[in-house]
């Protein structure tokens, strides 16, 4: 089975919550409108940014169903359906299949870990089979799963045994392996770059598509990086990437992942806070963050939020 490769930016979306930490599903149509208006090509839902490990199966099902209504030919929805529980992955893959979204994604189990590529493929196969019409992407993120297997071997085995296997969401810093994955079998598979702060490095190694959390609020910045790279203006592309590095470096100061949702709030798109155990920013911290972002000049490149 052959799937169209993705080019451009896919936003790893936040799961929107209300003030009581309940899903705010009504916000999703506006969310999609904002992404499209900022030239984002799709949504990667229920992933790390979407707090997959902090949301229930029922909540993930609701997110899949609601985001499925936003899918169009030029706006693809991909849902991460697995964590450490294969049966839940199968259930959510079936829901994704019924909803008719473009693709599903599966990460390596991060509690009882897979020690070999063979084990990993065997874990994924029944999940993939539950969504036979969807493109299946493996979500390679060793920094969180602590599973760092040979992705060339994975492409070989998964490509032979999983009919709807499409490629890899590659969130790792091994640029040599990433490039080799792109060139594997004459570029047969879709390998999406997943590290926002080194997006330019991914482009230099051959990436055409990228998935990231900061594309939610800074898509104009990354679209410019793509444009400058294609134009051959590497000096300007590097300067823009350095801005990305500088504002992402602020995450450590303000408590990590929660910083992203705080920036969404600052630009005028409130999708709530992260759930425990992620730190929440208080009003004074958000104010301090805004000042630092202003000093960097980030708001020149942040997303425009549609009215209404």
Give the tens place of pLDDT for each residue, 30-78.
999 999 999 999 999 999 999 999 999 999 999 999 999 999 999 999 9
- pLDDT tier at 308, thresholds 50, 70, 90: low
Q: Give the phi and the psi of residue 187 in degrees, each rounded to 5.
A: 75, 35
- Among 155, 122, 153, 156, which residue's Cα sits nearest to residue 138? 155
Q: Please check if 211 is assigned to a binding site.
A: yes
pLDDT for the residue numbered 306: 87
Q: What is the mean pLDDT of the chain?
A: 97
Of 85, 133, 134, 72, the C-alpha closest to 105 is 134
What integer is the mean pLDDT of 271-286? 94
Scanning 206-282, the segments in alpha helix (DSSP H) are 215-231, 234-248, 250-254, 258-266
Q: Of 112-121, 145-154, 253-262, where does mean pLDDT reach its minimum? A: 253-262
Residue 267 has pLDDT above 70, yes or no: yes
Phi-psi region of 181 (alpha: psi -120 to 50; beta: other; left: phi over 0): alpha
Residue with tokens 């904002």: 34
Tens digits of residue pLDDT in 184-236: 999 999 999 999 999 999 999 999 999 999 999 999 999 999 999 999 999 99
Could you give the residue numbers annotated as active site? 139, 169
49 is in an annotated binding site: yes
Pairing of strands 103-107, 76-80: parallel
User: 8-218 is classed in which CATH architecture?
Assistant: Alpha-Beta Barrel (3.20)
Please state, in angstroms and rounded to a whole number, the distance separating the CA atoms of residues 80 and 261: 19
pTM reported for the whole predicted model? 0.97
d(CA 164, CA 135): 6
* CA pair distance 118, 83, nearest whole angstrom: 18
């Amino acid at each position: 089975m052959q799937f169209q490769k993705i080019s451009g930016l896919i936003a790893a979306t936040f799961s929107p919550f209300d003030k009581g930490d309940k899903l705010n599903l009504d916000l999703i149509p506006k969310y999609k409108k904002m992404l499209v208006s900022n030239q984002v090509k799709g949504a990667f839902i229920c992933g790390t940014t979407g707090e997959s490990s902090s949301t229930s199966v029922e909540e993930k099902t609701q997110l899949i169903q609601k985001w499925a209504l936003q899918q169009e030919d030029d706006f693809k929805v991909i849902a991460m359906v697995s964590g450490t529980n294969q049966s839940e992955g199968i259930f959510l893959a079936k829901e994704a299949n019924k909803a008719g979204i473009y693709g599903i994604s599966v990460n390596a189990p991060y509690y009882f870990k897979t020690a070999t590529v063979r084990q990993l493929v065997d874990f994924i196969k029944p999940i993939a089979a539950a969504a036979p019409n969807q493109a299946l992407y493996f979500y390679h993120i060793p920094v969180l799963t602590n599973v760092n297997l040979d992705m060339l071997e994975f492409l070989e085995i998964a490509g032979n045994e999983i009919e709807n296997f499409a490629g890899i969401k590659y969130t790792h810093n091994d640029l040599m392996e990433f490039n080799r994955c792109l060139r594997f079998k004459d570029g047969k598979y879709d390998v999406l770059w997943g590290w926002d702060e080194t997006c330019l490095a991914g482009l230099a190694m051959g990436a055409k598509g990228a998935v990231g959390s900061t594309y939610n609020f800074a898509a104009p910045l990354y679209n410019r990086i793509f444009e400058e790279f294609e134009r051959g203006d590497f000096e300007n592309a590097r300067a823009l990437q350095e801005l990305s590095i500088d504002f992402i470096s602020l995450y450590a100061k303000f408590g990590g992942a929660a910083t992203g949702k705080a920036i969404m709030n600052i630009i005028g798109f409130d999708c709530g806070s992260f759930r425990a155990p992620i730190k929440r920013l208080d009003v004074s911290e958000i104010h301090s963050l805004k000042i630092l972002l202003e000093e960097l000049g980030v708001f020149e490149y942040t997303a425009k939020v549609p009215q209404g």
